[in-house]
Chains A and B, each alone.
Chain A
């Protein structure tokens, strides 16, 4: 039976090369996470950076706050936020706190995929109606297939808070999908990428 992620990480404190096993195990999902929130090119660039940051900060991993997998996603989230901050500073857009709390997905690419779905307009509207933290939490569960507890660890919030936020987000989306917005409303007007995180 292979060693658990936690055992591998502990071993890497004494034998740094052991950390490669975690890279092997989790690169594909971490790359998917980065890609869904940026682009393939950016994800390619940030994957190695994520692992270098994780390697450098591995002594700060705290098993009491969640599994290694969630911690690695948390590192990826920080790396992505930093890259977005840098990009926004360079383009004089947005604000620091906005980028930190809500690594925004590439909504244009996601819209293209949603277009084929029957619920697309209502879903877009529903997602736009969620707060930044609620949206990020929901996407961690639906896209990254993390448990609510793991998603809570990624975001650094208590598991109970994550569960109640998830319940709220799910209820809100269900409501939007079952009662679509008026036809006059243009989806772009309430697009998530144009919102400010709360």
Chain B
């Protein structure tokens, strides 16, 4: 509702809401940003971009589809069935044609767990390949913890997994909690009434787990801010079963 060029206010409900809605919308009118403010923000981001370690993101692997889209695609089974024959025919033509070329798509990774893998020609790719260096550069929290409780979400929701933390390698600098509850993909696949199977943590290169499982857990704050605010647990081998050598490696890398 600032005075810059914005679309018409979103209307709520019917005519009965119009009076209060317009008054409230008017109360949200604020001046447009002063000239130069945008440039200031741009300059600061430009400096941050320039300061980012060269090659810090070189391990990013392009991925071709989002998990969300994959789920959406699965729901369109009927449509896929109709078009499958045409696709197969086209594929045969492409493969057999001597002038066939391959194309590569680059898309954003999408699931609930950070740089997670998506299927790519039967294999999996991750936005970040695990290494202690990437771990140190990218995660905002990491700890060694044992699962004490699992609240199972609905078919479309993550589990809420509670850990008793043995050691924080990275996290809140003060008052780091002794336990933390995090959203995590279900350990086992679940099949809904629609016949579609969802939520297998093994697809995300995250260890299967149950109460008592000890894990080395790594992830990042979804919106920035505090290290464990709106946390996203990273799969792709970042979160892994506990072993002492790796725990030592994390302690060193994240020190």
**Chain A residues packing against B (C-beta within 8 Å):** 6-7, 9-10, 13-14, 16-17, 19-20, 23-24, 27-29, 31-32, 35-36, 40, 43-44, 47-48, 51-57, 59-65, 71, 74-75, 77-79, 81-82, 110, 113-114, 116-120, 122-123, 126-127, 139, 141-147, 156, 158, 166, 170, 173-174, 177-178
Kindly state the interface size class of chain B when it binds its partner. 35 or more
Q: Does B67 contact A (CB under 8 A)?
A: yes
- What is the CB-to-nearest-CB distance from B109 to chain A, in angstroms, rounded to a whole number? 8
Q: Judge if B76 is at the interface, Cβ distance under 8 Å.
A: no
- Look across to chain A and name the residue whose beta carbon is closest to the beta carbon of B40: A48
Contact assessment for A59 and B19 in the assembled complex, using a CB-CB cutoff below 8 Å = no
**A114-B23 in contact (CB<8A):** yes
> Once bound together, how far apart are the Cα atoms of A113 and B1, in whole Å?
13
Asked if B122 CB lies within 8 Å of chain A CBs, one says: no
Residue with the greatest number of chain B CB neighbours at <10 A, chosen from A36, A48, A60, A178? A60
The residue of chain B having its C-beta at the shortest distance from the C-beta of A72 within the complex is B223
Nearest CB of A to B165, in Å: 20
Residues of B within 8 A of A82 (CB): 225-226
**Do B20 and A32 touch across chains, with their CB atoms under 8 A apart?**
no
- For A56, the closest partner residue in chain B by CB is B224
Residue interface mask B105-124, A partner, CB < 8 A = 1 = 01111111011000000000
Contact yes or no, A156 B230, CB < 8 A: yes
Closest 5 CB pairs of A and B: A78-B225, A53-B224, A32-B2, A16-B49, A57-B224
Quick one: given A55-B45, A60-B232, are A28 and B223 in contact (CB under 8 Å)? no
A127 to B232, CA, bound (A): 33
* A124 to B104 Cα, complex, angstroms: 55
CB-contact partner of B9 in A24, A142, A173, under 8 A: A142
For A44, list chain B residues within 8 Å (CB): 33-34, 37
Residue B30 at the A interface, CB < 8 A? Answer: yes
A81, A145, A158, most chain B CB atoms within 10 A: A145
- The answer to whether the Cβ of B188 comes within 8 Å of any Cβ in the partner chain is no
Complex contacts, B225 vs chain A, CB 8 Å? 53, 75, 78-79, 81-82
Residue among B12, B30, B115 making CB contact with A170, cutoff 8 Å: B12
For A78, what are the chain B residues with a Cβ–Cβ distance below 8 Å?
223-226, 229-230
| Measured CA separation A65–B138 after assembly (Å) | 20
Q: Which of B41, B107, B128, B232 contacts A48 (CB 8 A)?
A: B41
Given A62-B111, A170-B12, the answer on whether A126 and B34 have CB atoms closer than 8 Å is no
Are B32 and A142 interface neighbours, CB within 8 A? no
Cα distance, A142 to B221, chains bound together (Å): 27
B30 near A36: Cβ-Cβ < 8 Å: yes
Would B4 and A32 count as touching, CB distance under 8 A? yes
Assembled-state Cα–Cα distance A38/B229 (Å): 22
Please determine whether A27 and B223 come into contact, CB atoms closer than 8 angstroms.
Answer: no
| Residue contact B220 to A60, C-beta cutoff 8 Å | yes
* Residues of chain A contacted by B67 (CB below 8 angstroms): 64
Is A145 within 8 A of B108, CB to CB? no
In the complex, A64→B112 CA distance in Å? 7
Q: Measured between alpha carbons, how far is A122 from B91 in the docked complex, in Å?
A: 65
Partner of B41, one of A23, A65, A75, A177: A23
Indicate if the CB atoms of B30 and A57 lie closer than 8 Å.
no
What mask results when residues 38 to 70 of chain B are scored 1 for a CB within 8 Å of chain A, else 0? 101110111011101000010010000011100
Q: Which residues of A contact B111 (CB under 8 A)?
A: 62, 64
Inter-chain pairs besides A47-B37, A177-B19, 11 sampled, C-beta below 8 Å: A19-B45, A29-B6, A59-B128, A64-B110, A65-B222, A78-B230, A117-B27, A127-B24, A145-B6, A173-B17, A178-B16
